[in-house]
Structure 1
Amino acid sequence: MIKNYLLIAVRNIFRNKLFSTVNILGLAFGICSALLIFLWVNDELKYDYFHANASRLYRVMENQKYTDGRIYTFAATPGPMAPFIKEKYPEIEKATRFTWEVNNLMQVDDKTFYEMGRYVDQDFVEMFSFPFLKGNMATALKDKNSVVITEKMAKKYFGDQEPIGKVLLMNTKRSFTVTGVLKDLPRNSSIQFEYLLPFEVFWDDNTWLHEWGNNNIRTFLLLREGTDRENFAAKFKNEIGAHQEKSNVELFIQPQAEAYLYGDFENGVQSGGRIDSVKMFFVVAVFVLIIACINFMNLSTAQATKRAKEVGLRKVIGAVPSQLFRQFMGESFVTVCVSAVLALLFALLLIPIFNEITGKALTLNLLDTQLLMIFGIIIVFTAFVAGSYPALFISEFKPVQVLKGQLKSGSRAAIFRKVLVVVQFSLSIILIISTTVVFRQMNFMENRDIGFVRENVFYLWMEGDVRPKLETFRTRLLAEPGIESVTSASQIPIDIGNSTVGVEWEGKDPNEKILFSNINVDFEFIQAMKMNMKEGRPFDRSRISDTSNYIVNEKAAEKFGFKNGVADQDLTMWDRKGKIVGVVKDFNFGSLHSAVDPLILRMDPKETYCLLVRVKPGETEAGLRSTEILWKEYAPGYPFKYSFLNQNWEDFYKTEAQRGKVFNTLAILSIFISCLGLFGLSAFSAERRTKELGIRKALGASMPGLVRLMGKEFTILVLLAAGVGCPIGWYFMTQWLETYAYHVDVGYLTLIMAAVVCLVVSLVTISYHSVKVAASDPVKSLRYE
């Protein structure tokens, strides 16, 4: 029986070549896109779950409450906290401090490279599951002169030699002995590094770390088995207050396995993160798969009358609806399996491109049980969704009507097909709207005036004698070809991370706590960045008093509340009293997701570490060459490593840009699959109305009139889809745009454009069959049976 059903299924595929091809291709594209997206989703969901102690690993977070009503959430914590709380709380089994990325120059003989590493406590290597290939995990970082490196770094510097015991020279000054080699870190780890150094080194070099009021490092905890997380969190939350008077900080812990996906907080409450993208892409993948399933359902029900006599005969000889249902579901399953094989071939061809777009390293290993499970689920889901209604519809045919030739497709089936077409194009329109809005927002962010000119500016972190001899270096560089201006700062102006509440001014409420971002700059910073002053003046090298003065942005000026202007008012930050010499117009020094915060620019050239060079337009190569020549004189042994501000700004939104590219691809694919279905339906409609069109043509109907008649039905369906899809697309993209403080509007033109694109593409698709039938000889059409 099963063999017979398979033969019938294969025979029907070859008998209806056009409709079978449309079905198989539509399902193949849908399954391929779903497979790739689900692989991406699965990879995202697995981040940080490979650690053996994942269920007990937590990161410490701070909620900082301010008198202006704002709550800021940070992963930064005080330097002394980890060892202190490990001793204080028995619930903590291990604790480690963990610095932000540090790029140090590493050297072995003539091999010199900048490498990204971290300073950590000894507990780190025992808490996290980064396997040791060589060395003793229990003692690897107990010696202050020890370093643990990755397998990749070991091969880079030592080749096939034994790395344990070898010496690495850091920043041409300090030597570290290799005491451990880690297996290369998995890509699905949110924690990345090439080497680990003892935290004691960082502690000794940075005395500000010793204060409980400074937050700059991360703290990770490993709680003991059986610890009640909620009870511990309640005991732990006011720990900062025990070390600081009038503390505005409450601590809480977040599972490290959730940190990657749930990293966004708003007013102290978890508000999403990368999980939003994961959910969005999952839904979009299901959308595309459903669009492909709708094609199959539409064409299968439209072709049902061709199988009517077969169903009638089977019922007469005793077949029951459940048997027929299983038969036609089996036929759907065969079609889906053929599509799945084709989809797998497409995926194998497309996965390198998909990886390039998404920044992943996904593979299609057919021996991977997880991949096979995902693929199997997609096949079963598709077969059930695509085949269930056609199988149910066909199995319910009445044998008496069928055998008497009285069977008609029925208005109910026709209405259902129309509903499916509307749903199909509604989903396509939603995707087009999403794609258009994402593209416009990305373009807006890349080209937005952020308050200063970031083009033609590159920067370097000062090494060797560049910083001690900055004035001489700057003067000489300005005389070189291609150089327009030179300045320095403690951070790059598009990524200012320092902040403080240690700001005092006349009239300030003693109980008021407001967070001010801050950056150290030299005299030419405002002019070199081409910022605009709203009040007062930039720093002036000819005025000695400016070495203790400040410039603030508009947001900071609002917080001070001065009635007679801000310029020339007294301001004290930490222990330094000075004057506010000017107010710079607000500029974006962080992500466009957030509004501009209050900012203080502090004149302190000695505490600047980043050299910013503006080159003359069109003379970038000359400017780079001039800087490199001088760099080699002042910082011999240090590679000339630079970055452009504009490129860094684009990198901030790399994730959004990747999402936009995937959206573009899926939107185009959804329209293509929808049009495949329309192509098949229009062929069926043209075939069904051949005699009608022949009569109309014999009676004098023109070809354009017949084409319009054929296209009218589908035009109405697409317009109905626009009425459904446009409001839904507008709503969801408006919600997404609200995650940005600065954004475009969805706009009516976007909605109209999405509807017009679908309408035009659908009309072009159906016009082929419409023109073909309308142009045929009416005599042959009237003889058509």
Structure 2
Amino acid sequence: MLKNYLKIALRNIKKHKGYSLINVTGLAIGIAVCLFILLWVQDELSYDRFHANADYLYRVEQDQVYGGRKYHVNVMPWPCGPSWESDIPEVLAATRYGWCGGRPFNYQDKTFIESNVQAVDPDFFTIFDFPLKYGDPSTIINDPYSLVLNLETAEKYFGEDNPIGKVVTVDNQYQLTVTGVFEEIPHNSSVRPAILVTMDFAKTVGRYSDTWGNNSIRTYLLLDEQADLSIIDEKITAVVANHRDEESPTKFMAAPLTGIHLYAYFGFGDGGKAIVYIYVFSIIAAFVLLIACINFMNLATARSAGRAREIGIRKVVGAQRSKLIYQFMGESVMLSFLSALIALVFVYLLLPVFNEIASKEISSIALVGKNFIIGLLFIIVITGLIAGSYPAVFLSAFQPVKVLKGNLSTGRSQFLRKILVIFQFSLSIVLTISTVVIYQQLNFMRTKDLGFDQEQVISVGIRGDIQQSYPALRSEISQLPQVLGVTASSDRPTRIGSNSGGSDWDGKDPEMSLIVGMSSVDFDYIETMDMKMLAGRAFSREFPSDQADTSIGAFIINETFAKVIDMESIIGENLRFAGSEAPIIGVVQDFHFNSVQRVIDPLAIFIAPEWFGVMLIRLAPGDITASLTTVEEAWQRVLPNYPMDHRFLDEDLEMIYRAEIGLSRLVKYFSILAIIIACLGLFGLASFTAEQRTKEIGIRKVLGASATNLVLLLINQFTKWVLIANVLAIPVAYLILDKYLENFAYRISLEIGPFFLAGALAFVIAIATVSAQAIKASTTNPVKALKYE
């Protein structure tokens, strides 16, 4: 029986090569899109699952409330980790994980400014399963001056030699001994250190303060298998509360490590969540596959008259309806399987291109993985069932007496085809509108006025031993004609941290709590970054009191902070913040000191040279490469033994939006493929319609109809369908995209442009697709057409 079905299926495929090609091509593209999205989703869901105890690993996070806003924070006070491990029995191991980079590392004649340096506790390798090439995980970070390197960094300093026991000098004064080397970390890890140092070393260099009030470091826990998370959350909150003098609404919670990538929060505030994009791309996959299946349904029902006699005869000789349904469903699944094989070839060949677009590192080995194969089989079966369900039921319902007499009615199938084409184009229009709006929002974030000019500004790390040479560097570099300004700050202007330790001023509501951004800056900061003062003045060397020896001499606040303080004359008023009390000498126009996705928080800047971490250099317009070379030469005159570790600010901003850029590209390409699939179906239907109306077209030509009139006659019905699709798609797209844009603090307005563009594009594509067949039909010799009929 099965063999017979396969023979009939192959015979029908060969008999209708054109329609079969359209079906197979459309399904292959649709399945290929689904497989790419399956690979992408698998990769997103795989983050941090390679650890042996992945299900019991957690990162502690906290919810804070300040000024009526909730801030979700993933950094903890320094003492939390050891206290939780010692006070809570369910905590089997704990490690803190905090940045300690930007310092010069030296071995013999090799010196590098290392950025990705993380301070950790001895339990780090108990919690995380990063395979070691050299070293004992139980003792690797026990000594305060231990140094653990990844394989790439170890080879950079020591080549192929075993580095265990070798000494590296940090900040030109600290001697750290290499105690281990770990292998390359999988790309799907949310924890990605290059160099590990101990918490004792981080404290020695003054990177962290041992207080309960300063949130500064991430903390990871390994919990007992039987631990109740709700009880753990209460316990870790209680431990912190016992060490703080005042009551706080802050709640601590253990967040599963395997969910960090999916539900990650970035710093203070409501960051983006990768799980949202998983939903988005899953919906896109369903849309694209559904569009391809609709093609199959339409062409199958359109060709029903061609198979009516076959069905009638088979019913007369005793074929049951269920057997016919099985046959037609089998043909559908067979075409689906053939399409899947072609799709697999597409995916294999285009995987490197996909990785480049999506910023992924998915290996072709994933194509033979168990989950992928299960997903592939599921897609084949679902595609076959969806695509073949209605045609199978529809065709098997033909009455043999009516069919053999030639009284076949196709009105119901024609109506369904209209509905399906409308639905198909509605999905395509929604995807097209979404692509344009997502691109506009991303472009808006990338080009939005940040409140400062980031072009042609380089940031250079000056932490550690280099910081002492900053005055000499500033003096040497600022004299260059290729340089317009030199200043320094505690961090880049796009990476300023916040402080919840308290701010106060005369007249402040005692119930008010506030998160305030804070940064130490040098003179000329406002001028070098091209910021605008709204009131008062910038820091100036003409006012020596701006910089105090042992405390903060003066504050400049942003306009958001000024609105919170809400004083008629704010200049000269004292602000108590960051352990000091000093006058407010100016108000700077708001600028984005974090992601544009976040609302601008209050900010206070001040001069504290001991906090300087980066030097900011604005280059003059012209040959940037030559100017950069000149600056590096000036750097070498002051610090001949240290490389100038620099980056451009605009490149830093591009890195912030790298993921969004890749995702917007994927949406664009998937939308284009959806439109191509819809056009394939439309082309097939137009071809069938022209074929069915051959006699009518011939008669009209004999009666004097022009080619133009005939083309318009055939195009007219399809344009009506596209018009209805636009009417249905536009409100749906508006609701979806308005909800999407709610995730952004600063967003574009939904204007008519993208909707009009998508609608017009659908019309143009539909007309162009149908016209090819319409012109061919209208130019056919009517004598041949009537003779054929």
TM class by shorter chain equals over 0.9
2:463 and 2:227 map into 1 onto residues whose CA distance is: 47
Residue 733 (structure 1) aligns with: 737
1:222 and 1:779 map into 2 onto residues whose CA distance is: 84
**Counterpart check, 1:190 vs 2:190:** yes
Residue 90 (structure 2) aligns with: 91
Q: CA deviation at 1:266?
A: 12
Q: CA deviation at 1:364?
A: 2.6
Letter in 2 for 1:558: K
Q: CA deviation at 1:459?
A: 0.9
1:252-305 CA-to-partner distances (Å, cap 9, x unmatched) read 22111111111249999x897110011101111111111111111111111121
TM-score, structure 1 normalization: 0.96
Comparing 95-104 with 435-444, greater Cα deviation is found at 95-104
Residue 519 (structure 2) aligns with: 519
2:687 and 2:637 map into 1 onto residues whose CA distance is: 75
Correspondences of 1:623-662 after superposition (within 5 Å): 623-662=627-666
**Counterpart check, 1:252 vs 2:253:** yes
1:451-475 CA-to-partner distances (Å, cap 9, x unmatched) read 1111111110116875324333223
Q: CA deviation at 1:644?
A: 0.9
Residue 401 (structure 2) aligns with: 400
Q: 2:102, 2:464 within 8 Å by CA — same for their partners in 1?
A: no
Q: CA deviation at 1:657?
A: 0.9
Residue 347 (structure 1) aligns with: 347
Residue 594 (structure 2) aligns with: 590
1:103 and 1:503 map into 2 onto residues whose CA distance is: 29
2:172 and 2:353 map into 1 onto residues whose CA distance is: 41
Residue 581 (structure 1) aligns with: 585
Q: 1:168, 1:178 within 8 Å by CA — same for their partners in 2?
A: yes
Comparing 619-628 with 40-49, greater Cα deviation is found at 619-628
1:429 and 1:533 map into 2 onto residues whose CA distance is: 46
Letter in 1 for 2:652: N
1:232 and 1:605 map into 2 onto residues whose CA distance is: 41
Correspondences of 1:354-433 after superposition (within 5 Å): 354-365=354-365, 366-408=367-409, 410-433=410-433
Correspondences of 1:117-132 after superposition (within 5 Å): 117-132=117-132
Which secondary structure state, in structure 2, belongs to the residue aligned with residue 95 of structure 1? strand
Correspondences of 1:484-563 after superposition (within 5 Å): 484-547=484-547, 548-563=553-568
Q: 2:202, 2:208 within 8 Å by CA — same for their partners in 1?
A: no
Which secondary structure state, in structure 1, belongs to the residue aligned with residue 576 of structure 2? strand
Q: CA deviation at 1:325?
A: 1.1
Which secondary structure state, in structure 1, belongs to the residue aligned with residue 484 of structure 2? strand
Q: 2:149, 2:178 within 8 Å by CA — same for their partners in 1?
A: yes
Out of 614, 617, 621, the position equivalent to 2:621 is 617
Q: 1:550, 1:602 within 8 Å by CA — same for their partners in 2?
A: yes
Q: CA deviation at 1:207?
A: 7.5
1:538 and 1:520 map into 2 onto residues whose CA distance is: 14
Out of 769, 773, 777, the position equivalent to 2:773 is 769
Correspondences of 1:88-487 after superposition (within 5 Å): 88-100=87-99, 102-115=101-114, 116-206=116-206, 209-248=209-248, 249-264=250-265, 273-365=273-365, 366-408=367-409, 410-462=410-462, 467-487=467-487
Q: 1:482, 1:619 within 8 Å by CA — same for their partners in 2?
A: no
1:104-144 CA-to-partner distances (Å, cap 9, x unmatched) read 44444444444423111111110122223332111111112
1:13 and 1:531 map into 2 onto residues whose CA distance is: 69
Which secondary structure state, in structure 2, belongs to the residue aligned with residue 217 of structure 1? strand
Among all aligned residue pairs of Structure 1 and Structure 2, give the percentage whose two residues are the same amino acid.
40
Q: 1:29, 1:669 within 8 Å by CA — same for their partners in 2?
A: yes
Comparing 613-622 with 579-588, greater Cα deviation is found at 613-622
Which secondary structure state, in structure 1, belongs to the residue aligned with residue 226 of structure 2? coil
Q: CA deviation at 1:683?
A: 0.1
Comparing 660-669 with 234-243, greater Cα deviation is found at 234-243
Distance change >3 Å, CA 539–CA 78, structure 1 → 2: same
Letter in 2 for 1:168: V
Letter in 1 for 2:374: M
Comparing 82-91 with 167-176, greater Cα deviation is found at 167-176
1:256 and 1:606 map into 2 onto residues whose CA distance is: 35
Letter in 2 for 1:367: V
2:499 and 2:405 map into 1 onto residues whose CA distance is: 85
**Counterpart check, 1:607 vs 2:611:** yes
TM-score, structure 2 normalization: 0.96
Q: 2:442, 2:661 within 8 Å by CA — same for their partners in 1?
A: yes
2:531 and 2:162 map into 1 onto residues whose CA distance is: 54
1:427-465 CA-to-partner distances (Å, cap 9, x unmatched) read 101111110001111221222111111111111011687
Residue 550 (structure 2) aligns with: none
Residue 76 (structure 1) aligns with: 75
Number of equivalences = 781
Which secondary structure state, in structure 1, belongs to the residue aligned with residue 663 of structure 2? helix
Distance change >3 Å, CA 386–CA 171, structure 1 → 2: farther
Q: 2:148, 2:195 within 8 Å by CA — same for their partners in 1?
A: yes
Letter in 2 for 1:421: V
Residue 750 (structure 2) aligns with: 746
Letter in 2 for 1:85: W
2:226 and 2:539 map into 1 onto residues whose CA distance is: 59
Which secondary structure state, in structure 2, belongs to the residue aligned with residue 10 of structure 1? helix
Which secondary structure state, in structure 1, belongs to the residue aligned with residue 99 of structure 2? coil
2:277 and 2:228 map into 1 onto residues whose CA distance is: 31
Q: Calculate the aligned-residue CA RMSD, in Å.
A: 2.0
1:370 and 1:171 map into 2 onto residues whose CA distance is: 48
Q: 1:504, 1:572 within 8 Å by CA — same for their partners in 2?
A: yes
Distance change >3 Å, CA 634–CA 217, structure 1 → 2: same
2:186 and 2:757 map into 1 onto residues whose CA distance is: 43
